[in-house]
Amino acid sequence: MFQPEYEEDSPFGIDPNFDLSYLLQKAEDYLQDYNEELITKAFWYCYDNHKGMVRKSGKPFYTHPLNVSIVLLEEFPIYDSQTVAACLLHDTMEDVDSVTWDSIKDAFSLEVARMVDGVTKISHKEVSQTENKAASYRKLFLALVRDIRVILIKLADRLHNIRTLHYLPPNKQKYIAEETLNFYTMLAHRLGLLKIKIELENLSFYYLDRESYEDLKGRLTQKRREFLGYITSFLGTIETSLNQHEIDHTLTIYHKHEYEIFNMIQEGKSLSDIDNFYSINLIINSNDISDCYRAHGIIANTFDSIKFLDYISKPKFDWYKSLHTEIIGPDGKKIELSIRTQEMEAIAEDGFASKFSLKNKRKALNITREDTEEWGEWMQEMIEEYPDNAIQIIWNSIKVNLFDVDVVVYNKKGDPVSLPDGSTVLDFAFSKSYEDGLHCISAKINGVIKDLSYELRYGDQVEIITSDSVKPEPKWQQNVVTFKAVISLFHYFKDNPFVEISEKKDQHSFIKMKIIGEDREGMLKQITEAIGKNSMHELHISAQEEDFEGVFTLKLKEDDDVNNIFLKILNIQGIKSVNLLDD
């Protein structure tokens, strides 16, 4: 059963000198860049400005930023004293009227002030709570792509808050737990912070549905006990096989957490049908990647392998690397196995994006400054134009582009292109360039013509087909998910409002289309059928060597879909090009 963290049991809040001494010792133990003077100054600044404030537990309020700083040091990959200082100050600008950006910048530094400002919630009395929340999401997004340390402070803050959530009333508990599950767990996932993600998920699950949590935990205890004996004996067989081939390794057992099992049940599985309560982590001690593949080959020859995924040659979006396999053990039970080096294991546990972005001054995400500014401006426009729906619009955009699983496709040259899952041909076109997106008419997917709404799949080879005559239609906005495509179309229709032409039965327009293809029997008939006999107005045909060339004038009604006609023609065998001509 879940055991809450009781602040009354904490030694903090009685003697601030003791509290500071404890914090400094932790900082010295964990930081590469230890600055005692800076941390001491930040501690007393925090203590003085929160004087008289208390937590729901009755503890002095300054103990919260103190505890968050200790959580940050002990459980997050933090290396610099500036981050600890900003963590100590993270509530001052929000809770104390006299503390401002300028006062923190003057007392500390521009770097510390920026981090504190990044963590501080938006709060404007003149706008609605919904607009405040949407603006806060925008601010967190900008922090995520500009300085990842802000997000680490925010995650540490949320972790301490949810560990002490029992002090709040049930309605507040559910609100915070739901926000944690929908937002903060995804941040942890994106940064590869596995342990943090699991704890946030389990605690959120507990507060959202305590009865289901406790029931599942009790049932899992017995199931795990039964399965553990099985998997332990199974490890011996793997151990022997690897030792015979002189592969230096370490085997560990990882059990799926309650929320993960709960989701499997929600998807329709019964607890009795779930075999893989545990998975095996095989760590290669040599750090030689080739040994990972050797180890997999040995295991696959010993047991039946029914699934294999290679995240070493193609790492995940968060730089996670590993070989994943699912094998059939004794008695026909499925067992999941991951194989990685010690270095890969460190990344899987602590998160590459957080750990190495701090060391190497890297951004948390591979997004350009121009993209960041443009996306941020679009979010602000959403807040101003759609205040009631801004939270959902902004959150959906962040979630799809930053947190959802990536799909990797390949361009015409064979270069990999990573896009959010659910991306379409149009998303791919806008990822190439703004002009390609605006004038995209279709694409060849693995050599087959597909329309703009086709949802890309892992491994697809994509060749965009464009025409200068094509212009965006409002319905395109329903077929895109990437921020580049969404923002581009939003601004296009803002600058070029779509005007509906009044419906008249005799309203027609004429377009000219030049079609080149193989000069073969039946070609003209197939083109005519694709265009539609009622749409044919005039035709000029010529032949050059082996090619058929025709200029077709089409008489179209307003509701005729030119793109659809293009697609039908492009799907005809032997067609080489289709282009619209100016009158």
Q: What DSSP assignment string belongs to 450-502?
A: E-TTPBP-TT-BEEEEE-TT----GGGGGG--SHHHHHHHHHHHHHS---PPP
State the pLDDT at residue 502: 44
The stretch 175-182 carries a mean pLDDT of 88
92-96, 184-188, 395-399: least confidently modelled range: 395-399
Same domain, 199 and 219: no
Same domain, 438 and 486: yes
Same domain, 45 and 191: yes
Task: Using CB atoms within 10 Å of the CB of residue 419, give its burial: 0 to 12 exposed, 13 to 18 middle, 19+ buried.
Answer: buried
Q: How far apart are CA 573 and CA 105, in angstroms?
A: 68
Q: How far apart are CA 42 and CA 153, in angstroms?
A: 15
Same domain, 428 and 458: yes
Same domain, 325 and 412: no
Q: How far apart are CA 318 and CA 139, in angstroms?
A: 22
Same domain, 107 and 174: yes
CATH number, domain with residue 110: 1.10.3210.10
CATH number, domain with residue 541: 3.30.70.260
Structure-token match 């709404």, residue found: 453
Local confidence band at 360 (pLDDT 50, 70, 90 cut-offs): very low
Local confidence band at 235 (pLDDT 50, 70, 90 cut-offs): confident
State the pLDDT at residue 388: 63
478: nearest Cα among 488, 469, 486: 486
Same domain, 158 and 219: no
Q: Look at residues 440, 470, 495 and tell me which one is the last residue of a structural domain.
A: 495
Say if residue 575's pLDDT is above 50: yes
Do the domain assignments include residue 549? yes
Model pLDDT for residues 57-113, shown as the tens digit of each residue: 889 999 999 999 999 999 987 889 999 999 999 999 988 989 999 999 999 999 999
Same domain, 160 and 196: yes
Same domain, 456 and 570: no
Number of H helices, E strands in the chain: 24, 14
33-42, 222-231, 362-371: least confidently modelled range: 362-371
For the four alpha carbons of 185, 191, 196 and 198, in that order, the dihedral sign comes to positive
CB neighbourhood size of 107 (10 A): 14
Number of domains in the chain: 4
114-128, 194-208, 274-288, 431-445: least confidently modelled range: 114-128
How many residues are recorded in the chain? 583
Read off the tokens for 125.
């009395």
Predicted model pTM: 0.67
Model pLDDT for residues 311-356, shown as the tens digit of each residue: 887 776 556 788 998 888 777 778 888 999 888 887 776 665 444 4
Model pLDDT for residues 256-305, shown as the tens digit of each residue: 788 988 888 888 777 777 766 778 889 998 878 899 999 999 988 888 87
CATH number, domain with residue 226: 3.30.460.10
The parent domain of residue 303 ranges over 211-354
Do the domain assignments include residue 28? yes
Do the domain assignments include residue 536? yes
Do the domain assignments include residue 383? no
116-120, 149-153, 207-211, 518-522: least confidently modelled range: 518-522
Same domain, 253 and 313: yes
Same domain, 180 and 46: yes
Q: How far apart are CA 320 and CA 243, in angstroms?
A: 27
CATH number, domain with residue 427: 3.10.20.30
Same domain, 481 and 522: no
Say if residue 138's pLDDT is above 80: no
